[in-house]
Amino acid sequence: MAFIREPIVRLIAVTHFCKPEDLDEFRIWQTDTDNEPQQLIEAAGRTCYSSWSNPSGRTNEQYIANLLEQGHMSVIEHSVASFYIRGISRACSHEIVRHRHFSYSQRSTRYVDESEGNFVVPDCIAEDPEAMKIFEEAVTKAQEAYRKLYELLREKFAHVEDKTLRRKLARQAARMVLPNATETALVMTGNFRAWRHFIRMRASRHADVEIRKVAIAVLKELQKVAPAVFGDFKIVPLPDGTEEAMSGYMWE
Ligand SMILES: Cc1cc2nc3c(=O)[nH]c(=O)nc-3n(C[C@H](O)[C@H](O)[C@H](O)COP(=O)(O)OP(=O)(O)OC[C@H]3O[C@@H](n4cnc5c(N)ncnc54)[C@H](O)[C@@H]3O)c2cc1C
């Protein structure tokens, strides 16, 4: 068993733009960036107004800034990013999956053995020896109960021939004693508009510290791959030593 303080957040996929060079409009259109997610957004926006010749002479960054300024947010939905996230608690993942415009694949507690699982500990507990002692005792006890229940239930379902099903029947019942702090892993995929909304809600000081860490880590990655879409968010330190991020635009 290990105690985890920081989430692991990795960008694992992002939009690849395929320019159809055989079409006149795409031959006329010249953009000043090789950033593919941003190229796709500009191409989608120019489709709306057939403005392939760039009559206003905007750079890609200026073009996207104008979309964000005007609240023409559906255009940024075309570009998509996927993240692999682990080292977060089940409490945190429960908050994450409330966001309905993402696709999720999460580690199953019905199939995966949690008898050696790790636990996420909030900083305010980890930094307080007395609180940490209470936390450690509680999760250790819960994990022991999980192991005992699993063994007992495996015996109870011994008549089930299918080994995988037998284990699943035991685990799905034994998992009920696992704490909210139990570590989980997930893949989360969504478009840039959904990510902007997620960051606005969850990188705010009003959100829980753990999901805020995830949202800020996601933001840092997205600022690298699509600076024109996420560059307006500013990450600022808070008096309690944590951080929050705020958007420069009013639209979501
Ligand atoms: C600080 C904080 C505290 C919270 N506390 C609680 C709590 O105590 N209890 C609790 O249950 N939840 C709580 N939540 C979760 C919150 O209520 C939302 O479920 C969560 O933040 C998902 O965001 P969202 O509703 O904007 O929707 P998302 O699913 O992220 O959707 C994005 C946007 O799409 C639109 N949308 C999506 N679905 C619909 C729909 N069905 N109808 C109309 N428009 C839609 C809305 O404009 C929405 O804002 C909290 C969230 C935060 C940030």
Q: Where are the chain's structural domains? A: 1-109+183-252, 124-181
Question: Are 107 and 97 in contact, with CB atoms under 8 Å apart?
Answer: no
Mutate to test the pocket of ligand 1, among 100, 104, 212 (most ligand atoms within 8 A of CB): 100
Q: How far apart are CA 212 and CA 205, in angstroms?
A: 8
Q: pLDDT tens, 151-192?
A: 999 999 999 999 999 999 999 999 999 999 999 999 999 999
Confidence at residue 167, expressed as pLDDT on a 0 to 100 scale: 94
Q: How far apart are CA 71 and CA 189, in angstroms?
A: 22
Q: pLDDT tens, 181-215?
A: 999 999 999 999 999 999 999 999 999 999 999 99
Query: Is the pLDDT assigned to residue 217 strictly greater than 90?
Result: yes
What CATH number is given for 1-109+183-252 in this structure? 3.30.70.3180
163 touches ligand 1 (CB under 6 Å): no
Q: What is the pTM of this model?
A: 0.96
How far apart are the CA of 204 and the centre of ligand 1, in A? 14
Mean pLDDT of 223-232: 98
Q: How far is CA 135 from CA 62, 175, 198, in A?
A: 50, 18, 30
> Look-up: residue for tokens 């996207």?
64
pLDDT band at 50 (very low <50, low <70, confident <90, very high): very high
Q: What are phi and psi of 115, to 5 degrees?
A: -70, -20
4 touches ligand 1 (CB under 6 Å): no
- H or E element, residue 194: helix 192-202
Query: Is the pLDDT assigned to residue 251 strictly greater than 80?
Result: no
205 touches ligand 1 (CB under 6 Å): no
How far apart are the CA of 215 and the centre of ligand 1, in A? 15
Residue nearest to atom 7 of ligand 1 (CA): 95
Confidence at residue 250, expressed as pLDDT on a 0 to 100 scale: 80
Q: What is the mean pLDDT of the chain?
A: 97
